[in-house]
Structures are given as C-alpha cells and as structure tokens.
Amino acid sequence: MKIYLASGNKNKKKEMIQLLPEHEIVIPSDEGIDFDPDETGVTFYENSLIKAKALYDIVHCPVIADDSGICVDALNGAPGIYSSRYAGPDFMKGKPDGTKISQEDQNIFIIKQTNDAINSGKLPEGAYLNGPRSCHYTCAMVLYLGTDRLYVAQETFEGTLIEKIEDQAGDGGFGYDPIVFLPEFNKTIAQLTSDEKNAISHRGKAVKQIQNIIKNL
C-alpha cells in the first residue's frame, strides 16, 4: 500500500520505512507537494490529526501522521508539543519569528533548564518514574482514510535526561536522542541500533498498533 507520511522530516521517513517495510512510504516533498499546516492543537493527538487531514485533503490517499516530542517531568512536561520549536526557557513555545535554533543548542538549553529546576528545590509535586530527571517521548499517530475512517495510537518511551551536555553519546536516531539515557540499557537512545530503538520507542510501538489495524482493514 502507498501511504503518505504527513511530515517533512526525512529522519521520520527513514524510521517509518524501517517500521513498515511492506508499504511504500512517501512524504509530501517527494512529490513536490508544498505542505506546512498550522499546528494549532494543544495536544499531540490534535496536531497529528490536523496534519493527517490536511495532507489527505490534498492526496486523497491513506495518510499516517504523528506528532511527537519530549516531556521532562521537572519542567511540568515541557517542551512537549513544542519540542521542535523549543528555544530555551525564554522561548518555550518557539521564537515569535518562527526561526529555530540548532538541535545542539536545544539539547544544551533543556539540560540546563532541567538542572536549574532540580537545583531550585521547587520541583513539581508527584512521583517520578525514574527520579527527578525523568522524561519521556510521546507519539500520537493517526492513520487517516477519510472523514469517518481514522484510527489513533498513542505511546510513550521512558528515560532520564543526562546531567551534562558533555555526556551526550551516540550518533543514531535524531532530535534529543543523544541526551536521553535508558537505565535498563545503560545507553542513550542514540546509542541503540535501529532495530533496538524501533522495538521499544514511542513511534515503534505506535506503528505496531497501526500495522494491526491496516492488516484488518
């Protein structure tokens, strides 16, 4: 089946090809489609649905969209849906002019902001799954086949944020992966092989649910 992926992120396309090898995965830029919908939702699911519907209205073919991001417990779940636009504590939802900072700067900012929150002694109340540096990725994925034919899967991927940018490790994955440590593997996400990551990641688990749905269509 030809499935359009509602994203301009080539790293996401690469992961989806690995996760859905039996299908043809196409992103809008592959076919010269100008695609940049306004993500006005306040949840991962809402933004995923916005992207899925916007692309379906153009191609009228099956679409998969996902919205994902990193949520840090010490920052009350931030940057969350703003992960790709996050530009430090002064621009939690991104810069007003829409410009983005480098991933390296994002990693530096989020570690420093988390350290500052922990050292302030004013952490949000509650239990932390992996201690005060707990964080997780969330992925909300939508398979969109038309107005009344949509399917949703949402999954998380738990870890802890490293303490110093100097401790980042690995050249796999993308985004915040080099600074998210997995205690059970004694590695960062970026140090996992593609197969290891896809077996346990937020996106990998969501795709498995979508795969089962596709098989039963």
Question: Which positions are annotated as active-site residues?
Answer: 67
Closest listed residue to residue 206, CA positions, set 151, 135, 137, 140: 140
Q: At what angle do helices 202-215 and 10-19 cross, to 10 degrees?
A: 50
Residue 139: is it exposed, middle or buried by C-beta count within 10 angstroms (0-12/13-18/19+)? buried
Range 94-103, long-range pairs (CB < 8 A, 24+ positions): 103/174, 103/175, 103/176
DSSP codes joined into one string, 92-149? TT--TT-----HHHHHHHHHHHHHHHHHTT-PPSS--BTBTTEEEEEEEEEEESSTT-
